[in-house]
Structure formats: C-alpha cells, structure tokens
A and B are shown apart, each in its own frame.
Chain A
Amino acid sequence: QKEVEQNSGPLSVPEGAIASLNCTYSDRGSQSFFWYRQYSGKSPELIMSIYSNGDKEDGRFTAQLNKASQYVSLLIRDSQPSDSATYLCAVRGGSGTYKYIFGTGTRLKVLA
C-alpha cells in the first residue's frame, strides 16, 4: 500500500464546474496535510494546508480533512482552464518524521 494515494486521472471537468480531487494516506499519525499544484515543467506551488478535521476555504479552493477515514480532498469551484495542472497531495508528520510524503498527483483538465 502506498503511503499517499491519489487517482492519476486525468480528471476532466467543464469550465465553471466543481473539480473534486481526493487523497488517502496510510499513516494514522500524520499531522499536516497539503495540496500543491504543479504545471507541466514547473515546480510545485502550495495551494492549501489543513491541520484539523473539517473544511478550510480559501477563495475558490476548499480543503477537507477526515482523519478518522484518513482522507483529504480538494474542491475547486468555478474551475478555469488555467486550473489545468497536476495536483499533488502531501502528508507530513507521521511516524515521528518531518518529511513531506507526496502522492503521485492527479492530472486535472478543465475544458473550455
């Protein structure tokens, strides 16, 4: 079982729709959770961090965390073609470590 699992996609949504990206993690001791966006040929860019159960909203983005289910999600409202990228889920702090463990990413395509 991978430590952080994401569907590789591509996930295709029409412009203006809600994109829903999901991530599960295996280490129940994980403390911190992050979503990064990576455009092709570029480095990862932080979108959201979430540390406690529930929802956290920032503009068009909402991160959701459910530690009991070991599940993190990212919702993108009013998706735009410029949101087309790979979205990486990262988990930190499990098993006494400070390193970030990344999923392999979900490729999102927003269709104009």
Chain B
Amino acid sequence: GAGVSQSPSNKVTEKGKDVELRCDPISGHTALYWYRQSLGQGLEFLIYFQGNSAPDKSGLPSDRFSAERTGGSVSTLTIQRTQQEDSAVYLCASSLIYTEAFFGQGTRLTVV
C-alpha cells in the first residue's frame, strides 16, 4: 500500500484479555519498528525487525509482549493478560535500511 497501515485504530479490552495489533508496512520496506506512546509521553521503542528476524527486542517491557513478522511484511504485536498500564498508542513504522522511517496512524489501546 501507499503508507503504513495499522489495525485496529482503536481497541478497548478488559484487563486480563489478550490483544493482537497488526501492522502492514510500506511495500518493499525491509525494516519494521514498534513503538509505544503513553499519554503526553515520548516514543518508547519496543522491537525492531529486519526481514522476519528481530535483532533488537530490547524494549519489550515484559514477557507478556511478543511480536512476529511473516513474509518480510505484516507484523503482529501480541499483548497477553493485558494490564491497565498497557494502555497507550502503539505505533508501527517501516523503512528501507539506512533511510527514513514512516509511521502508521497507530492503534489506541485502552485496557479497562
């Protein structure tokens, strides 16, 4: 597609449930990034993919968070047993290696 696409745009879930967030990067972009932005805060790095591998997953906050990427394209971020502190906007970005990253519109996750 023309830009990075994320779904859903908004997700409200009950505490303790699992959620899956999806990112469809710009076609041909080999690098894909997940960030999290809490209200009024900066961007917190979660994980970086190059192709289907994740050479840097240092930002995942706990083992409840996992991510995968298949076919060098779509990525899914899964949060298990959601907690209220997981509420944030989850942003996905993609880039060619060594170049600028472009962001999707984000998924706003609210845990109630």
* Residue positions of B touching A, CB distance < 8 A: 31, 33, 35, 41-43, 45, 48, 50, 55-56, 59, 89, 91, 93, 97-106
Contact, CB under 8 Å: B100 / A98:
no
Q: Is A71 interfacial (CB-CB < 8 Å)?
A: no
Q: Which residues of chain A are within 8 angstroms of B33 by Cβ–Cβ distance?
A: 99-100
Closest 7 CB pairs of A and B: A104-B42, A102-B43, A43-B103, A43-B106, A49-B100, A99-B48, A44-B103
Q: How far is the CB of B10 from chain A (nearest CB, A)?
A: 12
Q: Could you show 11 A-B contacts with beta carbons less than 8 Å apart?
A: A43-B91, A43-B105, A46-B102, A49-B99, A90-B101, A98-B50, A98-B55, A98-B97, A100-B101, A102-B43, A103-B42
Question: What number of residue pairs across chains A and B have CB atoms under 8 A from each other?
Answer: 50
Nearest neighbor of A102 in chain B, beta-carbon distance: B43
Nearest neighbor of B105 in chain A, beta-carbon distance: A43
* Residue positions of A touching B, CB distance < 8 A: 32, 34, 36, 42-46, 49, 88, 90, 93, 97-105
Q: Which residues of chain B are within 8 angstroms of A43 by Cβ–Cβ distance?
A: 89, 91, 103-106
Given A43-B106, A98-B31, A100-B45, 12 new contacts (CB under 8 A): A34-B100, A46-B101, A88-B42, A97-B56, A98-B48, A98-B97, A99-B48, A99-B59, A100-B93, A100-B101, A101-B45, A103-B42
Contact, CB under 8 Å: B103 / A88:
no
Q: How far is the CB of A48 from chain B (nearest CB, A)?
A: 9
Nearest neighbor of A105 in chain B, beta-carbon distance: B42
Q: Which residues of chain B are within 8 angstroms of A102 by Cβ–Cβ distance?
A: 35, 42-43, 45
Q: How far is the CB of B72 from chain A (nearest CB, A)?
A: 15
Contact, CB under 8 Å: B45 / A99:
yes
Question: Of residues B31, B101, B103, which shows the largest number of chain A Cβ atoms within 10 Å of its Cβ?
Answer: B101
Q: Which residues of chain B are within 8 angstroms of A46 by Cβ–Cβ distance?
A: 100-102
